[in-house]
A and B are shown apart, each in its own frame.
Chain A
Amino acid sequence: MENSKNNLPFDTQELLDAMPDNERQAYTEVWELAALARPAFDTKGEKPASWNAVRNRIQSEDSDQITNTDSYLNSITDSAEKEALSEVWNIAGGIQKTSHEAPSKDRAWESIRTKISDISSAPAHTTHSNEANVTRLDTTPRKVSNTTTEAASSAKSSGNIYWLAAAVMMIGLAVWMWQITFSATVYTAPLGEIVSVQLDDRTTVQLNSGSELRVERGFGEKHRNVELAGEAFFDVEPGDTPFLVNTANAVVQVLGTSFNVRSWPGMGTSETTVALTQGSVEVYSNAEREFRQLMEPGEISRVRGVRTMPERVEALRIDEALAWRANNIAFNATRLIEAAAEIERRFNVSVEVANASAAQKTVTGFYLNPDSPEGILEDLASIAGLQLSFTNGKYTLK
């Protein structure tokens, strides 16, 4: 964009900046007041419907990407719609048939992944053998294939894969050295346990099983920033320094309040869900800090992926979001694969969902203070139309 053509201001802000002091003040007041006059326009409800329509239309136009019904079903992003249509499809053809047919996109990703497996620390998984079908990784094909391209191209440009390995080691060493120089306190809740901690500013944090809270040096003096991987309930001590909870993809900013943050790593796209019980917080994506959502008590907000605005989650209830604090388990349209991960953390057991399409099915249910995973897993199996087995210390749904 050209900045100034014939000394013309770039925009109104520049027009104001160029005014003499006394003028600028008066006009800036008008300009700022005018911003408040922006009419509110409620597109709630209309927007998702409209997006679905647009998406369906562009997808039917790009029909070359949809080679068969499986790939069409796989391309549906609305999980409820996907579930409903998949069910129809499965009943029509007998469930056996489709569960062995891996979608072509996944297969393409598999072959890429196998090729780069020596530079990736995550274990490769095979889609065709039932034993090795570890759907836990739940990779989002598009997102991950971007990463793959980057990794592959940098390996190519250096010409030698060992250079890449050496570079990774150097970075690892640098990170380690940085960590010992600027030591941080890391609180961890072991699997199967819920842990409460009190921070230096008297803020209390309840950590759900398998969660990690990292507190950098200088907390309570210079800053009040913490990093969370997992799920925690915060009761923040009021103070002048803003309290910031950083997750993989989002930031929750507070002054003094109580709220729950859920952001489990390793579930594909980074996702952070915030449930506010008291006071007020601001939620925003860490890559898109200008779109902030101010929350009110009782509200639940979610940041999905990077570069996105927080979205209100209407379907989830606050007591469900906080169920874990009283040792209860709540699923509300939770994907089976996520429900399995929740049970793994809560009971410190291994649960594998060895059926890629069933893993994406959603489940709903509430368990009051359950003391063993079996009953829940049996329910999940029957909802998803799978069999539960227990071998070699591991539960398998297939």
Chain B
Amino acid sequence: MATASLEKFSYWSERLNNSDEQAFSELFEHTYDSLRRYISKYIFDPDAALDVLQDVYVKLWQIRDNIDPDKSLKALMYQMVRNSALNYLRDTKDRNISLDSISEQEHMQEPAEIEIADKDETTLLQEHMQKWISELPERQREAFELSRFEGMSHEEIAHVMDLRPRTVNNHIVIALNTLREKLDAYKSKTAVI
């Protein structure tokens, strides 16, 4: 799924300021899949994830007058989702879902071991890449995924993750290095065959 341009998001911000429901529905249409994917990394219960995400959209509509079209609406939305998800996890700590267990649960969600048979080169490499990304340290992975999968700028990621843009850059540089090393190792291994 492609991501909408900065111009589109600032257009939507302006339309939201004017309580334009049509624009809001477009925004929903364009952001839902990405935010759904994003929240699923925090809340694994699909029903709960859905409820939290719904609340975020309603909240966004409630604050529509205060959205600044000059600031990234995209970053704002991801930040809202992230905060709501973390709040949800905090509030449901009793039910064995806690911030500490995020990484644990994530390991359970890792892609299953790759079956070498009847898979073409590209699919195989793709699956390896998926695995390598999931093995990155938590913050690095998050910054890298926001950049790669959601097309965010460093500044936007910094806003969402509550970091300095320089730290975001560092996370991404380190992540790229790690991934390159793994790719190089993978290539030299397969080249022998």
Residues of chain A whose beta carbon lies under 8 Å from any beta carbon of chain B: 1-2, 5-6, 8-12, 15, 26-27, 29-31, 33-39, 41, 43, 46-47, 50-51, 53-55, 57-58, 61-62, 77, 142-143, 290-292, 307-309
B33 to chain A, nearest CB (A): 5
Known: A26-B184, A37-B127, A54-B54. 14 other contacts (CB 8 A): A5-B155, A8-B154, A8-B166, A11-B147, A33-B129, A34-B133, A34-B148, A37-B126, A39-B37, A41-B36, A46-B36, A50-B50, A54-B61, A143-B22
Considering the chains assembled together, what is the distance between the CA atoms of A205 and B21 in angstroms? 39
- B179 contacts A by Cβ under 8 Å: yes
**Given known contacts A51-B32, A54-B28, A308-B26, is B129 in contact with A37 (CB within 8 Å)?**
yes
Q: Is the CB of A37 within 8 A of B133?
A: yes
Q: Is the CB of B130 within 8 A of A58?
A: no
Question: Chain A: which residue is nearest B6 at the CB level?
Answer: A1
Q: Is the CB of A53 within 8 A of B54?
A: yes
Q: Is the CB of B148 within 8 A of A35?
A: yes
Considering the chains assembled together, what is the distance between the CA atoms of A53 and B28 in angstroms? 12
Q: List 10 A-B contacts (CB under 8 A).
A: A1-B6, A6-B166, A30-B180, A31-B176, A37-B129, A37-B130, A39-B37, A41-B37, A51-B28, A58-B24
Q: Is the CB of A54 within 8 A of B33?
A: no
Q: Is the CB of A61 within 8 A of B25?
A: no
- B163 contacts A by Cβ under 8 Å: no
Q: Is the CB of A26 within 8 A of B154?
A: no
Q: Is the CB of A290 within 8 A of B36?
A: no
Interface flags for B159-179 (1: CB within 8 Å of A; 0: not) read 000000110010011001001
Q: Is the CB of A54 within 8 A of B57?
A: yes
Considering the chains assembled together, what is the distance between the CA atoms of A183 and B2 in angstroms? 38
Q: Is the CB of B133 within 8 A of A309?
A: no
B152 to chain A, nearest CB (A): 7
Considering the chains assembled together, what is the distance between the CA atoms of A53 and B56 in angstroms? 12
Question: Chain B: which residue is nearest A35 at the CB level?
Answer: B148
Query: Which of A31, A41, A55 sits near B40, CB closer than 8 Å?
Result: A41
A19 to chain B, nearest CB (A): 10
Query: Which of B24, B40, B50, B180 sits near A26, CB closer than 8 Å?
Result: B180
Q: Is the CB of A309 within 8 A of B53?
A: no
Query: Which of A35, A61, A292 sits near B62, CB closer than 8 Å?
Result: A61
Question: Chain A: which residue is nearest B145 at the CB level?
Answer: A38
Question: Chain A: which residue is nearest B58 at the CB level?
Answer: A57
Query: Which of B25, B54, B126 sits near A36, CB closer than 8 Å?
Result: B126
Query: Which of A35, A47, A62, A77 sits near B32, CB closer than 8 Å?
Result: A47
Q: How many residues of B contact A (CB 8 A)?
A: 55
Considering the chains assembled together, what is the distance between the CA atoms of A62 and B21 in angstroms? 11
Q: Is the CB of B58 within 8 A of A54?
A: yes
- A-B interface contact total, Cβ < 8 Å: 120
Q: B residues 14-30 with Cβ under 8 Å of A? A: 19-22, 24-26, 28-30
B47 to chain A, nearest CB (A): 10
Q: Is the CB of B148 within 8 A of A38?
A: yes
A394 to chain B, nearest CB (A): 34
Query: Which of A8, A30, A37 sits near B176, CB closer than 8 Å?
Result: A30
Find chain B residues with CB under 8 A from A37 CB.
126-127, 129-130, 133
Q: Is the CB of B50 within 8 A of A33?
A: no
Considering the chains assembled together, what is the distance between the CA atoms of A47 and B28 in angstroms? 9
Q: Is the CB of A41 within 8 A of B33?
A: yes
A104 to chain B, nearest CB (A): 16
Find chain A residues with CB under 8 A from B153 CB.
1, 10-11
**Given known contacts A27-B180, A36-B126, is B173 in contact with A5 (CB within 8 Å)?**
no
Considering the chains assembled together, what is the distance between the CA atoms of A394 and B156 in angstroms? 60
Which of A34, A46, A47, A53 lies at the interface centre, i.e. has the most chain B CB atoms within 10 A of its CB? A34
Q: Is the CB of A51 within 8 A of B25?
A: yes
**Given known contacts A36-B129, A37-B133, A51-B28, is B54 in contact with A43 (CB within 8 Å)?**
no
- B13 contacts A by Cβ under 8 Å: no
Find chain B residues with CB under 8 A from A77 CB.
25
- B103 contacts A by Cβ under 8 Å: no
B123 to chain A, nearest CB (A): 9
Find chain A residues with CB under 8 A from B21 CB.
55, 58, 142
- B5 contacts A by Cβ under 8 Å: yes
Considering the chains assembled together, what is the distance between the CA atoms of A11 and B184 in angstroms? 24
Question: Chain A: which residue is nearest B41 at the CB level?
Answer: A39
Question: Chain B: which residue is nearest A58 at the CB level?
Answer: B61
Considering the chains assembled together, what is the distance between the CA atoms of A1 and B159 in angstroms? 12
Considering the chains assembled together, what is the distance between the CA atoms of A50 and B133 in angstroms? 30
**Given known contacts A12-B148, A50-B54, is B172 in contact with A308 (CB within 8 Å)?**
no
